[in-house]
Amino acid sequence: MAVARHGSFTRAARSLNVSQPTFTVQIRQLEEALGVRLLDRTTRSVQLTQAGREFAPQLERSLRDLTALLASTAALSGKTSGHVSVAALPSLCGGMLPSVIAAFNRKHSGISIHLLDALGVRIPAMVKSGEVDFGFGSMQKSDPDIDFTPLFRDRMHAIFLRGGPLEGRKSVALQDVTAFPLILMNRDSTVRTVVDGGLASIGHFAAPAYEAAYMSTALGMVKAGLGVTILPSSALDIEGAPDLISVPVSSPRLDRDIGFLQKRGRSLSPAAEAFLQAIRRSRRSRVAFAAQSGARM
């Protein structure tokens, strides 16, 4: 294409920053590889052959496509464009992640985020199948195909109506919570796994009074006076529910590790890596703010 534009081997080689002998060899190798002559050379000029004239438009389109591809790849590596799919626990999708996505979009407007809320038991399978770039949740058991990187520990809280016998406590023993009808998440939830383990440790094996698939449902039941629920701190947002109180569960303390799930041996795209780092920074900021607030109090 350089020869076609400049009509000279010398000028074409100069435009490509190669020596003329090297350029001549490259042209010869191209013609040998294609099995046709592309250029007619004389001592005074160079012209495209018939085959060359037919080949040039196709090659021009290919070069434009390649240039566009390289520009797109540069945008991806520069984290200015891309697509990220993340599977996360419902408590995270309804808690910290929306604000992280909003802040991320302001900085990386060319990167789209696809957030799928999924129960903890499903997230590892979604990561392994490649349905999502990475998962954000907890691991109930190790998996040789999954790398799990803990980010923070999520503490379980008891949530009950204001004005009841549990009000005024800074924490509440799990045994005391069992004195009330229990409203627990269903058995596919990682929250339920943690709570069941705590109940078993104190010898409480009775079935809950109610089971809920969604945390909003459990909170609604508490508001209706049907009992007490136990939910993770990462999901708690009861500022708009002044009739509810939330306190940490103790004796035993109920926790779950929250972190990132990534398929072992698979690298993240620059866009996915940027979003993952945004989640990390957001969590560190929340911890720092909580520490400062505690110091002021």
* For residue 162, pLDDT beyond 50: yes
Range 10-23 burial, b when 16+ CB lie within 10 A, else e: eebbeeeeeeeeeb
Band of the pLDDT at 123, cuts 50, 70, 90?
very high
Q: How far apart are CA 282 and CA 279, in angstroms?
A: 5
Q: 184 φ, ψ to 5°?
A: -115, 160
Which pTM was predicted? Answer: 0.64
Write the pLDDT tens digit of every residue in 215-263: 889 999 999 999 999 998 876 665 557 889 999 999 899 999 999 999 9
Q: Which residues pair with 155 in a beta bridge?
A: 255
Residue 27 · residue 37 · CB < 8 Å:
no
**Residues 192-222: pLDDT tens digits?**
999 999 999 999 999 999 999 888 899 999 9
Domains in the chain with CATH codes:
2-75 (1.10.10.10), 82-151+258-296 (3.40.190.10), 154-256 (3.40.190.10)
